[in-house]
Structure 1
Amino acid sequence: MRLDAASAGRLAALALACVGREFPNQPGHVMQRAGELDRPRSLHPAFFGCFDWHSAVHGHWLLAHLLRRFPGLPQAGAIRTALDSALSAANLQVEAEYLRRHPEFERPYGWAWALKLAQERGNLQPLEGVIVQAYKQWLPRQTYPVRSGTHTNTAFGLAFALDHAHPELKPLLIQRALDYFGNDRDYPAAWEPGGNDFFSPCLIEADLMRRVLPDFRGWFDAFLPELPASLLEPARVSDRNDGQLAHLDGLNLSRAWCYFSLARALPDRPLLRKAGERHLETGLAQLASGSYAGEHWLATFAAYALACAGD
């Protein structure tokens, strides 16, 4: 289970098939007046493909990541063309203005992936700056964390923003992580997974806190005194044509990246690495299921899990 040129090519093919595909599309657009609704390509000239905005964003992250890792890919020319076309200064200006007008749009999942794309690409201005400011305006107002297994999960939004490490934002991210999660104990992990999770709320929280706490081991032992079977066994998907149920394929991949990262933080616990490998193997088997419900986004989760595995 490693990312080599052959597997990178397969992941790139999945992303290239999606980033320029405008329909089907779930826009998530809040209309303020009659006549405001427009085509996805007009509202979001950079990120109109892949069914929804956040998947388009992380689809471009995937392409940029693969191109950096494997510049000799057969699809390298197509990847460069796709990235240069989508991420033009004019397109990013439109995306930035949209977020200024709709400050809750894609919070925090899409924001986090946009910062991850900026980290990989090197520059995503002015959109990058708008998102940094949006975090600064949002986090002081959010009293409680959202502990869901889907897009609104607070811990994920903080974790990827911390990786981006903007100097104006980093102290606030660390403080809010401590405020929200620093005193968590005895998490009921046996209640997971939820029926439409693509994150494990407890593992994604632990993956955040390893970035924050000097004594992560002590916190982790109090937070997850034991790992129940429901957290160690990969999730089962009954219908991959159902977009909500297909989330569970992504759960297996995001659990994998959390387990690999936790195993590096706690190297004396081989169970973590073993659980990551089992989840990764299960998730990778479903990348090309033939259903767009999964194929528009799972390749990104696979690539990130493989990166966390250390290839």
Structure 2
Amino acid sequence: MNAPNINAQSPLELRATSKFFKGKAAVKDMSFSAPKGQILGFLGPNGAGKSTSLRIALGVLSPDSGEALLFGEKPNLKNLRRVGFLPEERGLYRKMTTRAIISYYGRLKGLDRKTSLSRADEMLQRFGLGDHLKTKISDLSKGMAQKVQILSTLVHKPDLIILDEPFSGLDPVNQQDLELLIREEHARGATIIFSTHVMEHAERLCDRLVIIGKGQKRFDGTIDEAMSLIPETADISTEGNFDLHAALEKSGFTSSYDKEDETGKHWRIDLSHGERAQDVLRAAINAGAPITSFTPHRAKLRDVFVSLVGEDESPAETEENH
């Protein structure tokens, strides 16, 4: 048997994996990798196949075709100890205390009792639950219980962290705390994958994105590469009958007439070739345009997401929705 490749550049990789339930494809020909030390956003509408893909990656589900690799090998008990996984379906032993449950998960991942208890205490204190070391899970609020489950996922300091819809059910304060925790784990050197359909979290946190729809990959690349799919634009309003299109055309800018109202004419300028909004404004001023308003528009990740997945918002009938 070959020794594990602990220096593999991709702690997780799916290679042309497909999975069918009742004859319908939950995941079809899915291939992507998580670069070592990066934060990868795994994005898609509810029912797009995110959870199924992650379960295949961890060996919970067997693909009908293709393969999944963890640290260069098929998922096994040894390399799974290097993984921290927060499933979308939350669940803790409700009669156990917060300290005991975090320690329990740590021991399952190979920590000794003393180390697991010490880390449980440290993490609970660090994230505002220091007064609840002996509180049973059943006596916690939903948000606090979810926080404990997240800490249980991270207690053994995993090399690869997989978080399936981690922000679901958290209030804005706890969402902010979780973003901070993800950044801290990333700074420690962990590779992180989190699935979400909330674009704002991905836009703030991710180095790379994989976007899927109806079980198929639609995009794989950096945030900047994703943003480049939707060109920037700028809106300029002018007084009177000034022809902004003709004026800007001399400077190499493409503009189109939008509408006219009582405030003047309104124009939309295309910035799809790398032009900067301030350059357009400068060109308009130099051309003597009687400008009444100027508004640059930078695409948001949500715009890119919608352009790639279209109307895939209705969940497919797959195992992850049952």
TM-score range, shorter chain: under 0.3
Which structure: greater helix fraction?
1
Work out which structure has the larger RCO, using CA pairs closer than 8 Å and 6 or more positions apart in sequence.
2
CA radius of gyration, larger in: 2
TM-score (norm 1): 0.25
TM-score (norm 2): 0.24
The structure whose residues are more often strand, as a share, is: 2
